[in-house]
Amino acid sequence: MSDLLANLNPEQLQAVTLPPVHALILAGAGSGKTRVLTTRIAWLISTGQVGPHGLLAVTFTNKAAKEMTARLSALVPVNVRGMWIGTFHGLCNRLLRAHYREAGLPQAFQILDSADQLAMVKRLLKNLNIDDEKYPPRELCHFINAHKEQGLRAAQAEAYDSFTQKRVEFYAEYEAQCNREGVVDFAELLLRCYELLQRNEPLRRHYQDRFRHILVDEFQDTNRLQYAWLQLLAGGGGKVFAVGDDDQSIYRFRGAEVGNMREFERDYAGDNIIRLEQNYRSHGNILAAANALIKNNQDRLGKNLWTAAGDGEPIRAFEAYSDLDEARFVVDEIRELVRDGASPTQIAILYRSNAQSRVIENELFTKNVPYKVYGGLRFFERQEIKHALAYLRLLTNPDDDTAFLRVVNFPTRGIGARSLENLQAAAHQTNSSLYNAAASLTGKAGQAVGAFIRLIEGLRQETANLPLPEMVEHVIERSGLTQHYRTEKEGQDRLENLDELINAAASFVDDEGAIGEGGALVSFLTLASLEAGEHQAGEGQEAVQMMSVHAAKGLEFDIVFITGLEQGLFPHDNSVNEGRDGLEEERRLMYVAVTRARQRLYISCAQTRMLHGQTRYCTPSSFLDEIPDTLLLRLNKRAAPEPVYGTGRRSTATRYEESPAPGGLRIGQTVAHAKFGVGVIVATEGRGADARVQVNFGGGVGMKWLALEYAKLTPC
């Protein structure tokens, strides 16, 4: 027993050895929560308080469940394979398999994954003759799952208008079809299990009596139905040991309710709250920055991370002129770090939006730095990008059968597999491309394929004289890709990637100089193919890790770069527009990003960033203001101009100093000049009588450096 508890700190020991009570363990980032959970289970078993089959442990991923089981098997001499340790869905599946009759399911009921569910919804829409453009299948899947996660059947769903009423009616039809086929989707597993326990008192009492100890990992990520399910199981006197961190609740878009922790404190835990604040991952300056950030959120349960490892290095802050300049800085810094002995696999580049990866990937590719995209695809391999490129390929070569098959029915045009088989047979007989064989199709299929051919021909004519970025933007819009992804639950990320493809086209033209427009598209498509097919690090090869902040949760690295810290990007406009709740979730996301770093942390932003192929002038993220200056090391930009402006917040120049500015001018501000007309301030330097600004007047005037003492610029 002494060996089991030997290396726990006082708070961990207190949590592990609690008597049988409801308890809330506030486990900060890097505080050893998995160790506490597994040691608690081992301690309960070793002291004879519960048998291996008398407790239930819930995790959020199968990976976490396997890790917990592996650790536990090393701590206690029992067979852990039969223990009830798993995800919510896995445990509910196990219970429903054991009681399928009571649950109203066939013994061999099948589970629909997300692709299966989408296919069923599409099939049902067709059978019911419902317009899938007005009621997109993916949006209906989201509607159904969201209601199930709230514990609401179709009969309980509210309809505020005729459109929602139609969706509710479809939900009812979907339920009936699933019951006819004897299948359940993922959301149904939990809801069906909850309903079974709720209505079947003998069964409920059996499991309440059996599971005297219920342990929950990542409690901050529970949704409303998951919490209700736990309450049912604990209703007979079982004790819930909930471990979580409200400061790391970042999945509100998936239904997670950070308020469940406050509710659990009120309903169950009472005074049994233990804070695990000693961090075993990061140096002190990194933790101090995280603490300073998160204290700005209201209604926290509250904790303050600390470490015995010392302050470590200051946080390195860099402001770039542009997103390209930011990417160059990050990659050049990584090359220096690797030359100095750092392991590439211990270096991570984080970004708020997946679309940001494209510029950084391009620079890594150019500088021959191996990298891997964690939890996602490299930019030119993403579904929406490959779709857009397929349309563009057909403009240059309509005989490209691969591109044709990729998008002929995407977005959906009612062209089925049988029609495509007939088309391929016709093409084979005439030894022609699918595009040229399209005229051979008759009937409804012929009309649908003919409409697609006319779309491509129309796009070719409409884009013939457009510059490359405008051509790409036009094709993305007219092809229907934009409208399609607007209807997806998480389509915003795909739309941002499509915007970034337009930026890639604009950057390509800038880099390549004057090329004929026909040649520009072919060259751009060649570049996309090369970047998609090469340079992803091979299995086992050391490589820099790239990922979104969401994907980084649960991971840690020696060196972390957090990029794109600009207002509207991080925090993201979509979240900020939701009010305080949205902004606070963004701040929690920033907190997660900061606490991924063990030894060295870089934070960077850019004054300008490409959006829709146009330059957007950016304001530094408000989160930068929340990190104390004493924790930061300002990295000077190469040949950086001095700041001359102040806006009541830290300036966007290298030193982030608040300095009074003549006329209150700032980068990104539109101004008027008596001779040159209207322009935008893009750079500043000097102070007082020596202050001057660089203004882009566009047209035939271009960039001008103007002394503020004489220029008499008027803000517009």
Digit-coded pLDDT (tens) for 33-58 = 999 999 999 999 999 999 999 999 99
* Six-digit token string for 108: 């061999």
User: Taking 60 as the threshold, does the pLDDT of residue 587 lie above it?
Assistant: yes
Stated as kind and residue range, the H or E segment containing 615 is strand 614-617
Class of 662-715 in CATH: mainly beta
pTM of the shown model: 0.77
**Two tokens, residue 368:** 């021959």
Q: Where are the domains of the chain?
A: 2-98+191-276, 110-181, 286-378+536-634, 380-533, 662-715
- pLDDT tens string 381-398: 888 999 999 999 899 888
Report whether pLDDT(642) > 70. Answer: no
Mean pLDDT of the chain: 86
> Topology of domain 110-181, per CATH?
Arc Repressor Mutant, subunit A (1.10.10)
Residue 528's pLDDT is 77
Helix, strand, or coil (residue 716) = coil
pLDDT at 116: 85
Asked if residue 317 lies in contact with residue 656, where contact means CB atoms within 8 angstroms, the answer is yes
Mean pLDDT highest for which of 79-83, 445-449, 469-473, 502-506? 469-473
List residues with catalytic annotation: 33-34, 217-218, 248, 596
Three-state secondary-structure class, residue 685: strand
According to DSSP, residue 82 is labeled T
Give pLDDT, residue 224: 92
Distances (CA, A) of 404 to 55, 438, 485, 501: 55, 11, 20, 20
The C-alpha atoms of residue 44 and residue 241 are separated, in whole angstroms, by 12
pLDDT at 577: 83
Residue 379 or 604, more confident: 604
Section 321-327 average pLDDT: 93
- pLDDT at position 517: 45
What is the rounded CA–CA span in Å between residue 438 and residue 102? 54
What is the CATH code of the structural domain delimited by 380-533? 1.10.486.10
Q: Under DSSP, is residue 533 helix (H, G, I), strand (E, B) or coil? A: helix
| CATH superfamily to which 286-378+536-634 belongs | P-loop containing nucleotide triphosphate hydrolases (3.40.50.300)
Model confidence at 699, pLDDT cuts 50, 70, 90, reads: low
| CB-based burial, 235-265: b 16+ in 10 Å, e otherwise | eeebbbbbbbbbbbbbbbeebbbbebbeebb
Q: Which amino acid, residue 596?
A: R
**Res 2: pLDDT:** 65
pLDDT at 221 over 60: yes
Question: In terms of CATH architecture, what is 2-98+191-276?
Answer: 3-Layer(aba) Sandwich (3.40)
Go through the chain and tell me how many residues it has.
716
Digit-coded pLDDT (tens) for 272-310: 999 999 999 999 999 999 999 999 999 899 899 999 999
Written as one letter, the residue type at 241 is F
Rg (C-alpha) for the chain, rounded Å, is: 29
- Annotate 269-333 with three-state secondary structure: HCCCEEEECECCCCCHHHHHHHHHHHCCCCCCCCCCCECCCCCCCCEEEEEEEEHHHHHHHHHHH
According to the model, what pLDDT value does residue 664 have? 66
Place of tokens 């209807």: 487
**How far is residue 51 from each of residues 45, 77, 377, 461, 658, measured CA to CA in Å?**
6, 12, 44, 74, 63
Predicted confidence (pLDDT) per residue in 656-698, tens digit: 333 334 456 766 677 788 778 777 776 777 666 667 777 777 6
Q: Which residues are registered as beta bridge partners of 703?
A: 696
**In the predicted model, is pLDDT for residue 311 greater than 90?**
yes
SS3 682: strand
Task: Say if 2-98+191-276 and 380-533 have the same CATH topology.
Answer: no
Q: State percent of the chain over pLDDT 70.
A: 90
The full 3-state SS of 194-212, as one line of letters, equals HHHHHHCHHHHHHHHHHCC
Query: Is pLDDT at 653 greater than 60 in this prediction?
Result: no
DSSP string covering 104-120, please?
T--TT-EEE-HHHHHHH
Residue 274 pairs in a beta bridge with 25
How many Cβ atoms sit within 10 Å of the Cβ of residue 652? 23
Phi-psi region for residue 245, left (φ > 0), alpha (ψ -120 to 50) or beta?
beta
